Amino acid sequence: NPRCPIMFASRGARAPRWLYRGAISASKARTESSVGNVAEVVSGIIQDVRQGGNAALDKYCLKFDRVPHKRLSESDIEGCLKACSSQELADVKYAQNNIRRFAQLQRDSMKDIEVETQPGVILGHKHLPIRNVGCYVPGGKFPMIASAHMSVLTAKVAGCERVLACTAPMPGGEPGRPPNLTVVAMHMAGADEIYLMGGAQAIAAMAYGTETIGSVDFIAGPGNAFVAEAKKQVFGKVGIDLLAGPTETLLLCDDSVDAEITTADLLGQAEHGYNTPAILVTTSEKLAVDTIARIEQELKIIPTAETAAVSWRDWGEVIVVDNDAEMLEVADEIAGEHVQVMHRNWDYFKQNLRNYGGLFLGVETNVAYGDKVIGTNHTLPTQTSGRYTGGLWVGKFIKTHTYQHISKEASVEVGDYCSRLCGYENFAGHKEQADVRLRRWKPGYDTKYYEGSQNQTLLSRPGAK
């Protein structure tokens, strides 16, 4: 594990030092996808499904998942329920109760308003749920049961009328096997339609519809690089929650924590796949050195070393900084999806950190709690998009629409200003919208038109009395 002399370019001599840096992370910007050529591949899939409907969808489902897509019937869902133990069902119920409770508190914080802003002028806004939404739940080797709670359940708390949920069938073994507990979680969360289909083709099917799948207006949920790219490409045809691609984790630590904990928390996320950035930033060089050594040992024994080792080799980072202010600056630049602060003064980071997906404050909590059960949403911004958006929450499924109504007296006052302001911009038609009301409700009003390159000449309306 060689020391890496590379420094943050913006910081000169005082720049943080890498004690470890994965080969690929050193060569890519944090905003870049971790998979090459993904945009071209995804574009082809989307165009095929858009034009070819079910036949094209099934071509890709057969290629990637070995079976055509399928809408699950009531009896299919009942079969999944029977395949789950009472403990599994109780655990899902506990998690969903926590997530529902927090989502409802968030929904309750969103208030409609209606205010008389000046005499006779009433302005307001209403929060309206999106009617048709699609929820993507990652499947495959690691079926993301919790994503069903995070998207489907949150959409239902928001008040969405139709919630379509999809996930890929299980890999290996008999083709087409549903991930039983994921399906049950979707069902318990309130999904109106459940489909076995995954990947970019599922995103395309939800966005554009097929002969049998009604299109949606909004798509939510995390996924791999192909799913994230598909969401990016269908944005505009539908809304999306955010670009939630391959998982990222960032640990901010002083010497109050030990390498056993940091190793568990880094590898706990690195196991997601082969392209998961896992980063430690610390003021303790001893913790940095101990963590690097401990990870090498742990990768020899953990069951998910096949994926975690590749992520750590290619995407891992250990960065040493001089002080907490520098740690904060580095963290804001990284803008990690999950930011875990194990530090004597974690409140400093709570108060001052600006760019992140979700914060996990203190050694007592960790990313897995947020991922699975505690109540906050686990669909969070990646690839530095925490610079401009937060994660999935009940408000993402809600549109805020404004309205207004005013009295005749207010129309005269506002209209006077509006008429002149429209004239300054040479918008005669806009101006007439005000003027037609002023002629009716303001005695003696003479409509004027502006002429000249600088609107310097006022002329009466032709035929004005």
Enumerate the active-site residues. 337-338
Residue 237 identity (one-letter amino acid) = K
- 10 Å Cβ neighbour count for 88? 15
- 10 Å Cβ neighbour count for 449? 18
* Strands, sheet with 398-406, edge to edge from the N-terminal-most edge strand: 113-118, 121-129, 398-406
Q: Which residues contact 253 (CB under 8 A, 6 or more apart)?
A: 262, 280, 281, 282, 283, 284, 287, 341, 342, 343
Going by DSSP bridges, is the β-strand pair 70-71/121-129 parallel, antiparallel, or unpaired?
unpaired
Written as six digits, the tokens of 280 are 């430690």
C-alpha to C-alpha distance for 319 and 317, rounded to whole angstroms = 6
Sign of CA dihedral 198, 199, 203, 205: negative
Burial 179-197 (b: 16+ CB within 10 A, else e): bbbbbbbbbbbbbbbbbbb
Burial 411-443 (b: 16+ CB within 10 A, else e): bbbbbeebbeebbeeeeeeebbebbebbbeebe
Written as six digits, the tokens of 253 are 């630590």
Scanning the structure block, which residue is given the tokens 């429209």? 422
